[in-house]
Amino acid sequence: MSGQRQASPETSMGFGPLDAPRIQQVAPSVYAYLQPDGGWFVNNGGFLLTADSVIVVDSAATEARTARMREMLAALTDKPVSTLINTHWHTDHTNGNYQFRGATIVAHERTRQMMLLHAPTKPDPDGPFPDVDWGALEPAPPFLTYDRGVTMWADTIRCDVRWVGVPAHTTDDSIVWIPEHSVLFTGDLAFNGGAPLVSAGSVSGSLSVLHDLRQLGPRTIVPGHGQVCGPEVFDVLIDYLTFVQDIAATGHRAGRTPLETARDAGPTPFPELLDSERIVANLHRAYAEIEGAPPGADIDLMATRHDMGALNGGRPLRCHA
């Protein structure tokens, strides 16, 4: 393709080995932007190259990480960025939006609403992520919003950007589905190698969406965190969230708090998943649903943060952002 350059996808570009971002081609003119190790605030994005511009999927959590994303994109192509899609409002996927000014930022209506309330944000220095250098962040909410979805075209390649319809990871999650190549960008509806986090959304809604995404039949998944994978990632996440529902039901019947239930459960059957402390945040959401709260209803997220820290032995949560 004219304007496309050869990049060295394994180059760390200045970060330590654990943090080294890379670009992986997943289909003709479609690339995943991957930031290992996929833990807290270390998210993935993507690039769709057209004949004269680039569509970007999500930005990054910090000034430096988004700048590195832009540098690596410039090593891939000299085409300008015309469009930036945000899959949801969480700050690891949107804090860097301002570095793509001049592009049309596209997202769900609620993504814009939540960003106007919360983003960009630098977590409390006395909170669970005290050592992150967030940099100089600026607000850059979506310019173009939709209520259900919008179709974009990367030259002749159809890209369906769709709200999933129910609270799941958040209340505003969207996917980017490229049917011709069977490639799906999930945002944080899927974590590969990390525990999912649904405290701001819904356990039951996440399970419903994961079943729907599996039925969509994608061959290649670009998750919000972790390595590119196949649809088997949905099975792991479904098993994990079903486990959360099961122990929530048992703990709630016994009058145990979410933190007590997490401790009662001991080591989970998912030792391979990073950020295991998220189970107690997910239990807070599961308890709310047992008690009749609708999916996505407000819960005390400060309490979930406190309990994750307690489950982590009172230490700051592991974060390489």
Lowest mean pLDDT among 85-89, 107-111, 124-128, 262-266: 124-128
CA 27, 32, 37, 39 dihedral sign is negative
Q: Is 17-311 assigned to CATH 3.60.15.10?
A: yes
Nearest one of 108, 115, 46 to 81, comparing CA atoms:
46
The pLDDT-based confidence of 164 (bands split at 50, 70, 90) is very high
Residue 214 CB-density burial (10 A; 0-12 exposed, 13-18 middle, 19+ buried): middle
Q: What is the pLDDT of residues 274-319, one digit of tens each?
A: 999 999 999 999 999 999 999 999 999 999 999 999 999 998 899 9
pLDDT of the residue at 151: 98
Percent of the chain with pLDDT over 90: 86
Lookup: tokens for 45:
């994005």
Rounded distance between C-alpha atoms, residue 287 and residue 245, angstroms = 9
Coil vs helix vs strand at 208: helix
Overall average pLDDT of the 28-52 stretch: 97
pLDDT of the residue at 2: 36
pLDDT of the residue at 240: 98
Overall average pLDDT of the 155-165 stretch: 97
Residue type, 166: V
Overall average pLDDT of the 88-117 stretch: 97
Complete DSSP assignment for 70-85? HHHHHHHB-PPEEEEE
Lookup: tokens for 292:
């009749």
- The answer to pTM > 0.85 is yes
The pLDDT-based confidence of 10 (bands split at 50, 70, 90) is very low
pLDDT of the residue at 130: 82
pLDDT of the residue at 121: 66
β-pair partners for 30: 27, 48
Question: Strand 81-85 to strand 54-57: parallel, antiparallel, or no bridges (unpaired)?
Answer: parallel
Overall average pLDDT of the 157-186 stretch: 98
Overall average pLDDT of the 159-171 stretch: 98
Q: What angle do CA 5, 8, 14 make, to 5 degrees?
A: 120
Q: Are 56 and 154 in contact (CB under 8 A)?
A: no
Nearest one of 107, 165, 179, 112 to 139, comparing CA atoms:
112
| pLDDT surpasses 90 at 6 | no
Rounded distance between C-alpha atoms, residue 102 and residue 80, angstroms = 9
β-pair partners for 23: 33
Helix, strand, coil in percent for the chain, rounding step 5: 35, 25, 45
pLDDT of the residue at 293: 98
